Amino acid sequence: MSRERDALAELDELDRVFAALAHASRRHILGVLKARGSRVRAGEIASRFACSWPTTTRHLRVLEDAGLVRVEQEGRERWYVLEAKLLQRVVGGWLATFRRGGVPRASAGRANSDRA
């Protein structure tokens, strides 16, 4: 049961990360964070987008919920920090399964349950 729980948790994490990466604006935010030293003020991120502040905050929230960024509050400033290790682990791990010719462990369980 523990292996199944671990596989489901892994699949949930994979789904959250890929869902966050699905939108071009969120990928752009991650690129901005990486290019600017992995830590950027919220206002600086917002200034790089043509969309409204509420839309930008929704994108930032999705990234935060996926664990791809974290927020550090310093006084009145909110800093967004890239969590590159999670991104590398999840996406890199998923890609590695294809280099090895296998099927991602959690994805295999889900594929079988989807056919039922």
CATH at 25: 1.10.10.10
Q: Is 18 helix (H, G, I), strand (E, B) or coil?
A: helix
| Residues 55-69 pLDDT 10s | 999 999 999 999 999
- What range defines the domain where residue 40 resides? 2-115
pTM above 0.85, yes or no: no
Contact 111, 74 (CB under 8 A): no
Count of domains in the chain? 1
Kindly indicate the confidence band of residue 3, based on its pLDDT and cuts at 50, 70 and 90: confident
Closest by CA to 83, choosing from 29, 42, 15, is 29
| Residues 41-100 pLDDT 10s | 998 998 888 888 899 999 999 999 999 999 999 999 999 999 999 999 999 988 988 887
